[in-house]
A and B are shown apart, each in its own frame.
Chain A
Amino acid sequence: MATKNEILVVDDDRDILDSLRVILEGNGYEVRTAKNSREALTALQEKKPDLMLLDIMMATETEGFNLAYELQKKPEYENLPIVILTSFLGKVREEGPEKFQHILGEQWPAKWLFEKPVDTKKLLAKIEGILSKE
Chain B
Amino acid sequence: MTQTPAETGTQSVPEKSHQRSRTVLGELKEKNFWFVRLRWLVPPGIVAGIGVAKLAGGDFETIPLLWVAVFILIYNVILYPVSCRLRDESYDQTKYINRFTYCQIAFDYIAMFLLIHFTGGAASPLIFFFIFHIIFASIFLPTLSAYGFAALAAAGTILIVIAEYLGWIPHHPLIFQGRTIDIAEQPFYVMVELGFFTASLFIAVFSITAVININKRILDMGKLSETVASLDIKLKVLFKLDALFTMIQAIGSTRSLDQVLNIATNELAPIMDVCCTSVKLLSEDGKFLRYAAAHGLREESFKDKVVEVAKIPLHRRIIDGESFVTGKVTPREWFQFGGYSDATDIESVLFVPLTLEDRVIGILGAYCTRPERFSSDDVDFLRLAAGLVAIAIENARAYEEIKNLTEERSRFMLRVAHSLRAPLTAMLNILEVVLGGYRGELNDVQKDYLNRVNRRGWTMASLIDELMSLAESKSEKLRLKLASIDLKTLAKRVQRTFQDEAAKRDLSFTVTIPENLPEIQGDEEMIEQMIENLVSNAIKYTYINGQVDVTFSESNEKTILIKVKDTGIGISKSDMDRLFTEFFRAENARSIEEVGTGLGLAIVKEIVDKHGGRISVASEEGEGTVFTVHLPRAQGEKNSNE
Interface residues of chain A, those whose CB is within 8 Å of chain B, are 13, 15-16, 18-20, 22-23, 26, 87-88, 90-91, 93-96, 116-118, 120
Contacts and interface: CB of A to CB of B under 8 A. Distances in A.
B478 A94 contact: yes
Nearest to B437: A26
B475 A88 contact: no
Interface residues of B, number: 27
Contacts of B418: 87-88, 90-91
Given A94-B414, A94-B472, A94-B477, A116 B422 contact: yes
Contacts of A118: 425, 429
B433 A19 contact: yes
A16 B436 contact: no
Contacts of A23: 429, 432-433, 436, 438
B414 A26 contact: no
Contacts of A95: 477
Contacts of B422: 13, 87, 116
B9 to A, nearest CB: 52
A16 B468 contact: no
Interface string B435-457: 01011000000000000000001
Q: Which has the most chain B C-beta neighbours within 10 Å: A16, A19, A95?
A: A19
B231 to A, nearest CB: 52
Contact of A116 (B425, B432, B433, B438): B425
A124 B433 CA distance: 13
B430 interface: yes
Given A16-B429, A93-B472, A117-B429, A26 B438 contact: yes
A19 B430 contact: yes
Shortest 8 CB-CB distances between A and B: which pairs? A19-B429, A87-B421, A15-B426, A117-B425, A116-B425, A26-B438, A117-B428, A90-B468
Contacts of B426: 13, 15-16, 19
B414 A90 contact: yes
Q: Which has the most chain A C-beta neighbours within 10 Å: B417, B426, B436, B472?
A: B426
Nearest to B479: A96
Contacts of B457: 117
A2 B422 CA distance: 36
B69 interface: no
Interface in B137-165: none
B105 interface: no
Q: Which has the most chain A C-beta neighbours within 10 Å: B414, B429, B439, B468?
A: B429
Interface string B33-70: 00000000000000000000000000000000000000
Contacts of A96: 477, 479
Contacts of A18: 430
21 contacts: A13-B426, A15-B426, A16-B425, A16-B429, A22-B438, A23-B432, A23-B436, A87-B418, A87-B422, A88-B418, A91-B418, A94-B471, A94-B475, A94-B477, A94-B478, A96-B477, A116-B425, A117-B429, A117-B461, A120-B429, A120-B432
A55 to B, nearest CB: 10
B472 A19 contact: no
Contacts of A94: 410, 414, 471-472, 475, 477-478
Contacts of A116: 421-422, 424-425
Q: Which has the most chain B C-beta neighbours within 10 Å: A18, A88, A90, A95?
A: A90
Contacts of B425: 13, 16, 87, 116-118
A95 B426 CA distance: 26
A122 B433 CA distance: 15
